[in-house]
Structure 1
């Protein structure tokens, strides 16, 4: 390649787009928390820790499309695990595991089915760990704030999952 950037195929471009959407929304998350719950803003700033990892995905995509497509659901899974530990199971953050499973289902070509299966198993395994051993959250919410936070995360997870489905539509047909 001699330092040239590889052309990104449509399937990998879909993953890059999702990484950018997540990255661009990360700074607004504490604002949503402040607006809806009124507190927890300082704790929600910790969610920005994952931002550099999402930023790495577009950079990785120019070197290895497979690595970028594996990285997105894995980073999303670890981010979801962290946020669940931070805010607790009642916060609704575990719903983002559904988006990670969707990414595992859509990010791979037919000949990459073992990667697809492996990533799906990793996401599910981390989900099971989250469900069985998350322990006490690092930040505690009042019942009223927790309900608002759960609603925020439910809406955000459903929106992200829908965007993933729309963005990946037809990408596998054009990818090589």
Structure 2
């Protein structure tokens, strides 16, 4: 049990940051890292035994895992890295699974983060990442190429449900994090600028 406490303390220390927005971004990044290894299992149990397209999600794992380390050097760059990794991972998964997968629903938590992670003086970043999320959503399927595997209609319906539940859970988690730190975020905006 003490080893688990040590690991939990180490992860908490790695995610900690005095800037509330940076701390939220760190928490989101590490929750994504902790869930990515289970996505193929969810896919196997809920959709189909063919899970190879889900392996592309692991390409973004190092980026999400690096967010807290980058955040220590520049909160602006760390928050931007989280959004770039999230949008990039979603586009990559959209290409791997195809347009019937519903995986593009993960752009909605990215859009929410884009609009909430940046301060007033950083509006250009907020609008830039929001535009990038909308553009990624509107990418024509033909531009992404053929999916790595074609699932059946029932399997695609199950995949859409799985992705919707996952994205909705992530969005609710982000909202909860912001609601819990609303007063500290407001005070931080009054006293700090970009970094």
Query: CA separation in 1, counterparts of 2:142 and 2:178?
Result: 32
Tell me by how many angstroms 1:141 deviates. Answer: 0.6
Equivalent residue, structure 2, for 1:75: 85
Query: CA separation in 2, counterparts of 1:134 and 1:63?
Result: 34
Query: For 1:117-137, what per-residue CA distance to the aligned partner results, in whole angstroms no more than 9, with x for missing partners?
Result: 111112222222255733432
Structure (1 or 2) with the larger CA radius of gyration: 2
**TM-score relative to the length of structure 1:** 0.90
**TM-score relative to the length of structure 2:** 0.82
4+ residue stretches of structure 1 with deviation over 6 A? none
Q: Any conservation in 2 of the 1:85–1:134 contact (CA below 8 Å)?
A: yes
Equivalent residue, structure 2, for 1:98: 108
Unaligned residue ranges in structure 2 (runs of 5+):
1-13
Equivalent residue, structure 1, for 2:26: 16
| Aligned positions, number | 172
Query: CA separation in 1, counterparts of 2:32 and 2:100?
Result: 22
Aligned with 1:141: secondary structure? coil
Greater RCO structure (CA 8 Å; 6+ sep) = 1
Tell me by how many angstroms 1:165 deviates. Answer: 1.1
Query: CA separation in 1, counterparts of 2:125 and 2:153?
Result: 41
- Residues 1:132 and 1:109: Cα distance change in structure 2 (over 3 Å): farther
Q: Any conservation in 2 of the 1:74–1:123 contact (CA below 8 Å)?
A: no
Q: 1:161 aligns with which of 146, 171, 174?
A: 171
Query: CA separation in 1, counterparts of 2:35 and 2:147?
Result: 23
Unaligned residue ranges in structure 1 (runs of 5+):
none
Q: Any conservation in 2 of the 1:8–1:65 contact (CA below 8 Å)?
A: no
Q: 1:127 aligns with which of 125, 137, 150?
A: 137
Tell me by how many angstroms 1:22 deviates. Answer: 0.5
